[in-house]
Chains A and B, each alone.
Chain A
Amino acid sequence: GENVEQHPSTLSVQEGDSAVIKCTYSDSASNYFPWYKQELGKRPQLIIDIRSNVGEKKDQRIAVTLNKTAKHFSLHITETQPEDSAVYFCAASIDYKLSFGAGTTVTVRA
Chain B
Amino acid sequence: EPEVTQTPSHQVTQMGQEVILRCVPISNHLYFYWYRQILGQKVEFLVSFYNNEISEKSEIFDDQFSVERPDGSNFTLKIRSTKLEDSAMYFCASSVFESQNGYTFGSGTRLTVV
Interface residues of A (CB under 8 A from B): 31-32, 34, 36, 42-46, 49, 51, 89, 91, 93, 95-103
- Contact stretch, chosen from B64-72, B74-82, B95-103: B95-103
In the bound complex, do residue B42 and residue A102 qualify as a contact, i.e. CB atoms below 8 Å apart? Answer: yes
How far, in angstroms, from A96 to B45 measured CA to CA in the complex? Answer: 10
Report how many residues on chain B are interfacial, defined by Cβ distance under 8 Å.
24
Secondary structure of the B side of the interface? strand
In the bound complex, do residue A100 and residue B100 qualify as a contact, i.e. CB atoms below 8 Å apart? Answer: no
3 shortest A-B CB distances, which residue pairs? A96-B98, A43-B105, A100-B43
In the bound complex, do residue B91 and residue A43 qualify as a contact, i.e. CB atoms below 8 Å apart? Answer: yes
**Which chain A residue shows the least CB distance to B105?**
A43
Contact partner of B43 (CB less than 8 A), chosen from A44, A95, A96, is A44
Which of B35, B42, B50, B95 has its CB near the most chain A CB atoms (within 10 A)?
Answer: B42
In the bound complex, do residue A46 and residue B43 qualify as a contact, i.e. CB atoms below 8 Å apart? Answer: no
How far, in angstroms, from A98 to B98 measured CA to CA in the complex? Answer: 10
In the bound complex, do residue A51 and residue B103 qualify as a contact, i.e. CB atoms below 8 Å apart? Answer: no
Which of B31, B44, B45 has its CB near the most chain A CB atoms (within 10 A)?
Answer: B45
Q: Determine the chain A residues whose CB is within 8 A of the CB of B50 once the complex forms.
A: 96
